Structure 1
Amino acid sequence: MSMRIAVSLVALCCAIPAVAQTADEAPASDFDTIIVTGRAAGSEMRKAEASFAITTIDQQSLKVAPPISTADTFRRVPGFWVESSGGEGSNNVRARGIPTDGYSSVGLQENSSPVQYDGALGYLNADQSFRVDDTIARVEAVRGGPASIFSPNSPGGVVNFITRKGTDTPDGAGSVRYTFTNTTAHRVDAWFGKEIAPNLGVFVGGFYRQGDGMRDMGFTAEKGGQIRATVNYDDGDNSLLLDVKHIDDRTPFYLPVPLTFDADGGIDSVAGFDPLKDTLSGSNNKRVDIKNVGRPYDFDLTEGSHTKLTAVTLQAKVRLTDGVRFETRNRYRTSDILRNALFPTGNVDTIANYRTVLLGQARAGGFTTATGIQLRYADDGTAVPADANGNGLMVQGNFLSVSVPLDEIISDNRVTADIGNHALAVGFTYAHSDYRFDRYMGTALLDVRGNPRRIDAIAVDAGGATVGRVTDNGFVRYGSIFDNVGMSTDNIAFYAGDEWQVTPDIRIDFAGRYEKLTFGGLVAKKTTVNLGDPTTLADNSVLTFGNGFTNVRQSFDGFGWTIGGNWQFHPGMGLFARYTDTFRLPSAGEWNGNPTRTDMAKVPIKMGEVGFKYGGEMFSLFATAFWTKFERLTLTDWYFDNATNTYLSRIAIAGTETFGLEAEGMVRPVEWFDLGVTLTWQDPQYKNFHYTDNTGKEFDFSGNQLIRVPKLALRVTPGINLFDDRFRGEVEIEHFTKRYADIANTQPLPAFTNVNLNMRAEVTKNIALGFNVSNLFDTLQLTEGNPRAGSFISGDAGARYFLARPNFGRIIRASATVSF
């Protein structure tokens, strides 16, 4: 199929006259790109002059290889380890060995304003609040360095998505793009912008889509979209931007799947389950009542990760006098974000072994005359055969629902001044949020297959008569988790910086930031109750509201600073160096499930980097050696206890240290061929990690490789440009070395190589066709193990069957774009 489409695209291009370069395309040299991220000063700076590592992704790159998700964009940035296997939201990004998940240490910005002030608020990663579509003009990504000074909660870096504006297209322009995916997904992206008066522009754009999901969910799993409208004014000295965006979008959250080993010890699929396409969700489990105190909880799996969000952004720059400007960036967002998902947990084990465990639970729960367990499907009561689905396996699944409504306002204000050779900035940021955190869960038994069925366990006596039920409608425990939280947060930050042009070739910059976080609220106390059905054990220990609330009041502050210098000894060549002493304040979300905790504190972070830059017509290179050190980090290991069917936690305080090298280069030996290379090599290690488990056994994990982070990540992209650059074809080859699913390094995740194919052809001046294939060879690639089996020491280590989350199988996208 791909060869036929490629030939068709080439044939169409041969007959079409050349198309002129558009305003969307990148500058003639990437070195000359004007950057705005990672700085506070108002003066312009070329990418070549930056004293920090920055990657830019232009509009043409976004057109050729449209990212599937926000996290997918991060994969193009060296220094970042990205797990985008969770779908369009709730993914993990780690920068330069920084050992925290989600977006807790990497900032996500839109037009230089945070999408969410705290990107790891507890089941609310920043990428759940953001969608990538054709309204994005370009992307800038800063690693380390000044990111933590001028952006909150971003010691690892910040990625800034810069949108299109009406003033970019004086005569008016727009496009409509339709994309069809082999996973039965349909999507339309559209935008239009126009300058309606001198320096005044309007813009509108967004997307809508519907599909079954990137894995087989058993129902329509993707539905919704977003729309934004923008008015902007820019006369060179003064500017104003008013942007209103609304998202109403449902996407699945993809989770680990059952796997096993082949005869040679390699990772293999389980019979009856395709790890590249199947899920443990499905139509049998899409709408289930989970019993609770009062009426049952209506669990709707089709909701998935449902984001309803409206954000209003107001930004302005005002010239006060020559060289002095006032800048303000303000954003208000109100959102209601729900995440419903089926989390596989416990052990993947044989039906025979599950019978033994369930019989023990039946006797311990009061059915003392039980001598055996009968397994029946919960939907129709038929018996579960010993070799069900060709594998004879079962697994537990948590039907988890988390709701996090959030109202937030962020206001960042600064004065910039160009005085002689100094570009100065002084600023103040205030952020306030109110959020709720409501969580409820039930734990069920499942067979192992794509779109599984729930299983009931019936306790019987020697004569085969029923003496009781371990489960109810497949659930072994209702109310296996419960939380109810209401919290308010306030952040204030003061920062200042100076970019000093010492000589025409040497620039030194330094900056500092003081920030204080205060938050407080109420966390419901919990108790367990028996719902009163004597025939089943499933409702004996339902977690619910206890006696009142625990009042939380916490305050933390920190001061960070950075100093860097750039020596541009040649217009196309330079050196830079930087040292940063910064911090990460705790997240209020850490108190959601444990309101009395006292182990959290400011995390001191030290970072150093030295970089080389070269840019020429045939070759360009950005290379940075870096060092990152966390001195005190609270690590929490949430693991699911099969005996009680609930989550337990273990806490340890440790440090980390990482030395590494990141590089991105481009070779253009001829006009029609180029070769891009992105490389990250690092040695990420835990330091001073001493841990004692609940049995009193001591462990020393110092020197172990950071969880899930590879030592080597390599991306090679050969590309061809034909027919006066009207056709672009490229192959992305990504290789990642071995990682570990746990801190003890007992469960390795094998190295893998992934290949993607991207093609785009401008058929006429106004029509373009695109073709993208991810995971071209449909290979099994594990990105993470099963965190619910324990992230300190994996409970899956050494087991014949285990749970892990792979990248998606082969996904083919074909698109047609009409521009006007």
Structure 2
Amino acid sequence: MTLSTAIAAALASGTVLAQDNGQTANATPTTASNSTTQKGDSNAKNGKSVKSLDQVVVTGSASNAGVRKIDASYQITTATAAQIQQTNPRSAADLLKLSPGVWPESTGGETGANVEIAGFPGGGDAPFYTNQIMGTPLYGMPSLSFFEQSSMFRLDDTIDHVELLQGGPSVVFGDGQIGLTSNYILKQGTDTPSGDIGVTYGTEDLRRIDGFYGFPIGQNTGWYGSVGGFYRDSNGVRNPQYAADKGGQLTATLTKDWDNGSLVFWARGLDDKNQFITPIPLIQDRSGMFSAYPGFNPLTGTYYSSAMQHTYLESYPGGGTNVNLADGRGAQLGFFGVNFDWDFGNGWTVSDKFLVDGGNMDTNALFSGSNPQTLSSWENTGGTYPSGTVPTGAVFNASYINGGGTINNPNLDVISQGLWHIHKNLHSMINDFRISRDLFEGNTLTAGLYLAHYTDDDRWSLGNPMLMTNTPNATPIQVSYVQNGQTYYVTNNKGLIFNGGYNITENGVADNKAFYLSDTWNVGQWIFDASTRVENENARNTVCNLSNVNIDGNANTLYDNSVAMCNGTYSVTDYNKTHTSWTLGATYKLQDDMSLYVRANKGAHFNSFDDMRGNTTGNTPPLLKIQNFQIGYKYTADWLSTDLSFYHRQFNGLSYQPSILGVPIDPGQYSTYGSDTKGLNFTVRATTPDQMFSIAASGDWMDGHYSHFDGDAVFYGLPTSDNPTGEFVSTYEGKQLQRQPKFQVRIMPSLHFTMPHGDLLLWTTMEYVGQHTQDQLALQQLGSYTDFSIGAQYTYNKHWVFTLLGSNVTDELGLTESNSRIAGNATGASGVLLARTLEGHEYNFQVKYQF
């Protein structure tokens, strides 16, 4: 049955089963304020505690009716809209840390986060994360270069709650994600019109307005509507001298309810621009210990400035383009989705989820290059000159751009940063249809068909190193030299040393088809489920071939004399793989509020368009496969909820491509290796009988390392006096999984006071992130850190809500990553390291009226 026929059937007859989406979370305290809840929500009790594991969740369940969390043979975390606010996430990616073992490196700004999941060897981007709205993935592929799915999404008051699922049955349902899936359920209209409007001001000059309104359409028609969104403007904690974050989002829903069914239309428009924060300089005092670089505040500093905001890139494919860094790494996207659920009676149910979306997700940002040095040292490196050596008898001239004056200080601290521009146009259409039949009492069989068609049209201009002062809000520098009476221009008038390093067009188109079967059987105190998925990925990627050209034809402008540009020919890579995934689970109910569960699954991660690029021989990286085993314990009571899960995760198919200075020795040839991880995820929440005090904790301990890496490999890091080429030989075997903390925990105690005219809620969150390493050789250790945030919320007469939030209130200097373009130890002379750190303290205050 197609989506259109399903809608026709719904409109013609008049029976559907509405989803029951509970709201109570086990990760954060219950709010004292009212919140707009979805129809059918029987779990939400404003200001009251409930047994959080009694909540019904739909993510990972074969049935559209969902499953109680305590009955699910997997670990799933949920959070309401109010609890999301209390978490005070820096971005949509930062919220994912509510799921134990998930560590989002969200220090890069609102978008472009790296999402690490314990035991999943990602090492950057977010290949093992899928973002869903109303149960449908936002794009047909988890991530691409300069794109991950949390960047397509912004948090606001239109969210009812979120469900976060790691692995388990997700390897079979939806897009077959083997890692983490977040599923955001939208608020919808209710019989009683209700909503809110809020205004927020933050210490980073944040100005934001939020709103939501849900309402019935007509009298007793069964139709409901809602509309809501936000708009904000902020300079950011790291002020770039223009708006760091600027834009908004608008979401609407239209719902029809019948006695046995529901139909939901939803639409969303997103137009937002965000600063992509570049690593800043630090001093590594010793391994894992860091301090501020002279003149650069690591908590508030940024290289971005108004002086470099506007630049013209000659090397951009198609004839050059103007780049405005204020456009940042943003999103201009449109979404339209339909959810349909139908109960035919006699044990037959149907569910269909459809989503079409598309738009631009461009990147305009600085990317780290080499470590800082003096101006005279940079002039005498020889790396920017055609001969590779410093011209004999050259007399250098350096000045600030835009007539800023001559530089007479040869010891001026300078750095080169890549000014990258990527135009990315994405489109995706996904439909997930499933039909269920109760075969006999306690047994339900579900069959599903998942179809996705998606495209990616890119234009890249990478490299573009820009010389600038090594200071906050840096000023670009232009350099020339005179030799034998002739002037040679080392940079252009914007400080660009080289116009582009990798300037390509990329056009990808793919179809994903999957058929899945799932059977669930309740037998006494046992609940069993078994599911399998057969999936095919068929993709084609077309990339232009490059030839070196002198863009302006002038031999004296050294910055554009040999630039790799598209030459009118193309390389095409075809990719067609089929794989079968499966999962088995069992829950044993010790009693109604206590259960044990076990689960095993095996899934696969298909290649992305970027994995295919340049592999015209068909020797693309191998299919990445995982087998995952879990055993867990759940208990829920009025005063305590806990979910403990021990896991063992094994990967194979990780690929290593031998290369010299980044150039593959044998293109298309890969060596494979794997990883092996054992760990424990935990979530616990306890409250006093009077509910005045509660405490929530979640976290993960893991022991993960790379395995069966055969032989040694050659790597190139920073040159040293003892190793001038930077070359060394090593192996991944037995090394700690990169960018994954061995231990992490988040603890949130809260106090709730009932007052004559309202309620007061106070809380704080302590987040500890343990030892973690930047690189696969575990040479660049990033240490550990402890971060504190605070919150206070007062609800007056159930209508007025006043909320104060503070993040990193102790100004902790914590590192999430260092220079990812340097293998091994990334610390240069005098212990200088380019790295991303936590932002300094930030406070914001919101006044909201609820009605």
TM-score, normalisation: structure 1: 0.91
Q: Offset of 1:466 from its aligned partner?
A: 6.2
Aligned residues: 787
Measured in 2, the distance between the counterparts of 1:538 and 1:61 equals 52
Q: Which residue of 2 aligns with 1:743?
A: 776
Q: How does 1:80-95 map to 2 (within 5 A)?
A: 80-95=102-117
**Structure 1 residue 662 and structure 2 residue 681: aligned?**
yes
SS at match of 2:403: coil
Structure 1 residue 694: deviation in Å? 7.0
**CA distance in 2: counterparts of 1:321 and 1:306, whole angstroms:** 47
Q: What secondary structure sits across from 1:146 in the alignment?
A: helix
Which residue number in structure 2 is paired with residue 183 of structure 1? 204
Structure 1 counterpart of 2:446, one-letter code = A
Q: Do residues 722 (structure 1) and 722 (structure 2) align?
A: no
**Cα distance in 2 for residues equivalent to 1:734 and 1:301:** 32
CA distance in 2, matches of 1:694, 1:716: 40
Aligned counterpart, 2:724: none
Cα distance in 2 between the residues matched to 1:698 and 1:445: 32
- More moved, 507-516 vs 724-733: 724-733
Using the TM superposition, give the Cα deviation of residue 266 of structure 1 relative to its aligned residue in structure 2, in angstroms.
Answer: 3.3
SS at match of 2:70: helix
Counterpart amino acid of residue 164 in structure 1: K
Q: Which residue of 1 aligns with 2:406?
A: 383
Matches within 5 A, 1:315-326: 315-326=339-350
Amino acid at match of 1:185: L
CA distance in 2, matches of 1:480, 1:264: 33
Tell me which residue corresponds to 1:556: 577
Inter-partner Cα distance in structure 2 for 1:759 and 1:594: 54
Query: Partner amino acid for 2:76?
Result: I
Q: How many angstroms does 1:294 deviate by? A: 8.0
Q: 1:600 aligns with which of 621, 630, 651?
A: 621
What is the DSSP-based 3-state SS (H/G/I as helix, E as strand, rest coil) of the residue aligned with 1:165? coil
Q: Distance in 1 between matches of 2:182 and 2:809?
A: 27
Aligned to 2:418: 398
Shift of 1:491: 0.4
Q: Classify the secondary structure of the residue corresponding to 1:215.
A: coil
Cα pair 1:95 1:157 within 8 Å, conserved: yes
CA distance in 1, matches of 2:287, 2:580: 53
Aligned runs of 1:135-214 on 2, under 5 Å?
135-166=158-189, 169-196=190-217, 197-214=220-237
The secondary structure found in structure 2 opposite 1:589 is helix
With over 3 angstroms needed to count, the CA separation of the structure-2 counterparts of 1:745 and 1:262, relative to structure 1, is: closer
Q: CA deviation at 1:346?
A: 1.7
Deviation of 1:283 after TM superposition, in Å, equals 0.5
Could you tell me whether the CA contact under 8 Å between 1:57 and 1:140 is conserved in 2?
Answer: yes
2:139 alignment partner in structure 1: 116
Q: 1:232 to 1:752 in 2, by over 3 A?
A: same
Q: What aligned pairs does 1:641-660 form with structure 2 within 5 A after superposition?
A: 653-660=672-679
| Structure 1 residue corresponding to 2:461, chosen from 429, 440, 464 | 440
Q: Cα distance 1:500–1:798, how it changes in 2: closer, same or farther (>3 A)? A: farther
- CA 1:220–1:102: 2 relative to 1, 3 Å: same
Q: Compare 700-709 and 652-661 and name the one that shifted more.
A: 652-661
Cα offsets for 1:673-723 (capped at 9, x unmatched): 111111200011111234422799642221111111110001111110111
Change (3 A) 1:276 1:596: farther
Q: What does 1:549-698 align with in structure 2 at a 5 Å threshold? A: 549-592=570-613, 598-634=619-655, 653-670=672-689, 671-690=691-710, 691-693=712-714, 698=729
CA deviation after TM superposition for structure 1 residue 281, in Å: 1.2
Q: Residue in 2 aligned with 1:708?
A: 739
Asked if 1:350 is matched to 2:374, the reply is: yes
Shift of 1:291: 2.5
Secondary structure of residue in 2 paired with 1:787 = coil
After superposition, give the CA deviation of every residue in 1:125-182 in whole Å (9 maximum; x if it has no partner).
111211111100111111121111112252112111111011xx31110001111111
Equivalent of 1:413, from 428, 433, 438? 433
Partner of 2:797: 764
Of 228-237 and 612-621, deviating more is 228-237
- Cα gap change, 1:44 to 1:547, in 2 (>3 Å): closer
Alignment of 1:312 with 2:336, yes or no, is yes
Which residue is equivalent to 1:333?
357
Mapped partners of 2:37, 2:148: distance in 1: 34
Q: 1:348–1:802: 8 Å Cα contact kept in structure 2?
A: no
Give, in whole Å, the separation in 1 of the partners of 2:536 and 2:321. 39
Tell me how far 1:199 sits from its aligned partner. Answer: 3.1
CA change 1:636–1:375 in 2 (3 A) is farther
Conserved 8 A contact 1:41-1:497: no
What is aligned with 1:51?
Answer: 73
Q: Distance in 1 between matches of 2:365 and 2:672?
A: 30
Taking the aligned partners of 1:30 and 1:637, their CA distance within structure 2 comes to 50
Change (3 A) 1:636 1:715: farther
Cα pair 2:541 2:613 within 8 Å, conserved: no
User: Over residues 332-368 of structure 1, what are the superposed CA-to-partner deviations in whole Å (9 max), with x where a residue is unaligned?
Assistant: 112122111011212222334323204x644726974
Unmatched segments (≥5 aa) in structure 1: 1-17
C-alpha displacement at 1:274, in angstroms?
A: 1.3
Within-5 A mapping of 1:230-379:
230-235=253-258, 237-262=260-285, 266-292=289-315, 295-358=319-382, 361-362=384-385, 364=387, 368-371=391-394, 373-379=396-402
* Separation in structure 1 between the aligned mates of residue 193 and residue 246 of structure 2, nearest angstrom: 30
Tell me the residue number matched to 2:15: none
Q: Secondary structure at the match of 2:405?
A: coil
Shift of 1:444: 1.4
Check 1:21–1:808 CA distance in 2 against 1; reply closer, same or farther (3 A cut). closer
Instruction: Evaluate the alpha carbon distance shift between residue 361 and residue 430 of structure 1 in structure 2; reply closer, same or farther with a 3 A threshold.
Output: closer
Q: Does the CA-based 8 Å contact 2:505-2:544 persist in structure 1?
A: yes
1:225 aligns with 2:248: yes
**Letter matched to residue 177 of structure 1:** G
1:511 equivalent in structure 2: 531
Q: Whole-Å Cα distance in 2 between the matches of residues 61 and 637 of structure 1?
A: 47
Shift in alpha-carbon separation, 1:22–1:722, aligned structure 2, 3 A: farther
Shift of 1:401: 0.7
Is residue 367–residue 459 contact of structure 1 (8 Å, CA) maintained in 2?
no
- Distance in 2 between residues matched to 1:153 and 1:218, nearest whole Å: 43
For residue 475 of structure 1, give the secondary structure of its aligned residue in structure 2. coil
CA distance in 2, matches of 1:773, 1:667: 24
Output the CA distance in 2 between the equivalents of 1:377 and 1:309.
Answer: 38
Equivalent pairs: percent with the same residue?
25
Residues 118, 153 of structure 1: 8 Å contact kept = no
CA distance 1:808–1:559, change in 2 (3 Å): same
Q: 1:21 to 1:550 in 2, by over 3 A?
A: closer
**Residue 565 of structure 2 is aligned to residue 528 of structure 1:** no
Unaligned runs of 5+ in 2: 1-31, 39-43, 717-726
**Is the Cα–Cα contact under 8 Å of residues 639 and 649 in structure 1 kept in the other structure?**
no
Q: SS in structure 1 opposite 2:380?
A: helix
Task: Indicate the SS of the match to 2:738.
Answer: coil
User: Is structure 2 residue 509 aligned with structure 1 residue 488?
Assistant: yes
With 424-433 and 226-235 compared, the bigger mean Cα shift is at 226-235
The whole-number CA distance in structure 2 between the counterparts of 1:637 and 1:123 is 24
Shift of 1:120: 0.6
- CA spacing shift, 1:652–1:303, aligned 2, 3 Å: farther
CA distance in 2, matches of 1:381, 1:344: 24
- Cα 1:65/1:20, change in 2 over 3 Å: closer
**Is this contact kept in 2: 1:69–1:84, CA < 8 A?**
yes
Determine the structure 1 residue equivalent to 2:445: 424
Q: CA RMSD in A?
A: 2.6
Provide the residue aligned with 1:774 in structure 2. 807
CA distance in 1, matches of 2:259, 2:684: 33
Is contact 1:512-1:561 (8 Å) kept? yes
Shift of 1:296: 4.0
Q: Given the alignment of the two structures, is residue 60 of structure 1 paired with residue 82 of structure 2, yes or no?
A: yes
Kept in 2, the 8 Å contact 1:558–1:585? The answer is no
Distance in 2 between residues matched to 1:309 and 1:599, nearest whole Å: 31
**Which amino acid counterpart does residue 678 of structure 2 have in structure 1?**
F
